[in-house]
Chains A and B, each alone.
Chain A
């Protein structure tokens, strides 16, 4: 086993675009759950819609700005459709509806009848939607080595994508920090803890919840775009599991904190990659195959999620006293 490769691969996850994508999705989820107490179990639906919106407009020849707008518009419409009927019902209803709706989007997206638009289950391949984004890069067309990592400057899983992705994460964190401490954010926190108290103060709770759902959904859609840029738009890669990953990240880092989702995402992926690489290196392929290592990684995430909720619901950064959920 080459320890250096393990360490390089592991630390590579720290700055990987996928880590940033999950951080964005978890930031969105943090607005939903950490700020407002909404149980959104379908963040992957927002991500998939964002990815489809972006990629399809790119395929049809729209420019980057139009694609981005399309992705955001889809997320807003989706949030409205989900929110208008369900936000008045109990929290478990929103959980079920978001879960089901995300699944509907995935099923329709991968259906053979939609092959013309979404590519069916094979999805949309990267050359159809990443060229404009890659040509926007100011970096020269070569690969660069920084410290341990060597990546291409512009193509696919590139430095350019990393810069943009983490810039997005930084902007999202900054916005969240502003929002959390604004009067608007305080109302959301009030709704999270006691909806009726806020209603009795004359606030329109449903409207606030809707605003939170839309904003979180937009971050989810942006996360979806970052998620698909280094690979292809494949509906099955943005299924239920992605939502559950995002939840694990959020609860690991700490809900209702600014840096929780980012730290959670980095930590989860670094640890998971490290464990997987170690298993791949240390255990011969005949005992546990590479595919089985992949499944074991999932098992670890599942068990981690269970243990987090049972033993440390506030995560790493959270304040146990802040959320009623943690009690």
Chain B
């Protein structure tokens, strides 16, 4: 009787929760989306309601030009200044032609061939939602020197017809509506693709995090900072020490592995020896996360650091537009994840790791050196986090002091979804979270897409708290 009523109450709670959540979401969608003016942003991601005009201002030798005022005019207007890496971006909310301009004297001084460029933004056309502006070509009357816009001419034109009639004249709300209808197919594949890429990178992070959880029972809040550390170390390698990308990446991973080893030796191993509970250890990781995060801000400042400066040439692959660094990053992520699975299932040490995850006391009794295993898990986990930071930095064109912190909750969501403590579960969870986070921007505003991933975390905890691959009895 009690069991039944408890279960019913549980259901009721779930229902209530989802109902209110859906209501909230619905509220957000039905809010008439105002046509907002163009604004200067640090980075810009196109969505159903905004397009992007951005670029990296570099001189003929590919050195960044910082502190240059860039003005946007046309359908909307705004002004921005290039940052330390020459990056600048505008988020615009109307379709139409935009002219980007800077002072003629600046262009001459840095050997640029043009001081103005005109691009056309169509938010519902996936290859015209973002226009990358370059000033290294002489400007004809109209040039859309966008890196990826030439390739998809046929699709662009076809979409241009359907979108052009409604989009250019009417308000933004309507445009987003029509884009949902007319162009859902193209956007669907593009978002699916970027979701999978993002999921793979998230997988690199969360597999490591889950290994630590499995062997020590600790949900590490400072894992996000390990990701930022990797990206920032790669930035140090390429931009401060002027190394090529590959040695810089190796350097970053080595630093990551080293921090994993050091923090296990001086913090976590002593705490485990003192038999400090995992809840207390979790609060220690929160403190560590805060300290590290602001230490990064102290040394690297608050802006986004680009690991590679050049804009890669993009090409079309089936229904999606992509570029070489993205595909290579995804490839590396897949290889590393497969490597870790092989390690876990086919080597002595890997089997020992799984034994410790399963039952640490029993593993110790059967002669496995648990401390040794945990040490290796910390090193692997932090090295993987650093690697994912590098790949993410290359994929997203930059990393900042709090990149990892914003991803931390997505890692938690991925790990919980897959099942706490199960290595492969984390990968599956990450892919689902990555795809959902990116695909949800098809239906909800772009800046809310992480909220949808977190909502999954909550719903999973309600419906199946042990996750997809978790064991039933774990949950109290």
Contacts and interface: CB of A to CB of B under 8 A. Distances in A.
A305 B290 CA distance: 9
Given A96-B461, A100-B457, A84 B448 contact: no
B279 A100 contact: no
A291 B300 CA distance: 11
B42 interface: no
B275 to A, nearest CB: 9
Nearest to A305: B287
**Interface majority SS (helix, strand, loop, mixed), chain A:** helix
B34 A299 contact: no
A101 B458 CA distance: 8
B289 A89 contact: no
A142 to B, nearest CB: 39
Interface in A91-147: 91-93, 95-97, 99-101, 103-104, 107-108, 110-117
B157 interface: no
B286 A247 contact: yes
A325 interface: yes
B20 A81 contact: yes
Given A81-B20, A96-B457, A111-B28, A325 B279 contact: yes
Interface in A274-301: 291-292, 295-299, 301
A76 to B, nearest CB: 13
B461 A85 contact: yes
A107 B448 CA distance: 6
A96 B416 contact: yes
A251 interface: yes
B311 to A, nearest CB: 26
A309 B284 contact: yes
Contact of B13 (A84, A101, A303, A313): A84
A99 B409 contact: yes
Contacts of A298: 290-291, 293-294, 297
Contact of A100 (B271, B282, B458): B458
23 contacts: A81-B16, A86-B461, A89-B461, A89-B476, A91-B279, A93-B465, A95-B282, A96-B219, A101-B458, A103-B409, A111-B448, A113-B29, A116-B32, A116-B34, A241-B290, A247-B286, A292-B298, A297-B294, A299-B291, A302-B290, A305-B284, A306-B284, A307-B287
Given A80-B16, A93-B465, 7 more contacts: A77-B20, A85-B458, A88-B10, A97-B457, A100-B457, A244-B287, A310-B276
- 9 shortest A-B CB distances, which residue pairs? A302-B291, A84-B13, A302-B290, A305-B287, A306-B287, A298-B294, A295-B294, A113-B445, A295-B298
Interface of A: 39, 77, 80-81, 84-86, 88-93, 95-97, 99-101, 103-104, 107-108, 110-117, 240-241, 244, 247-248, 251, 291-292, 295-299, 301-310, 313, 325
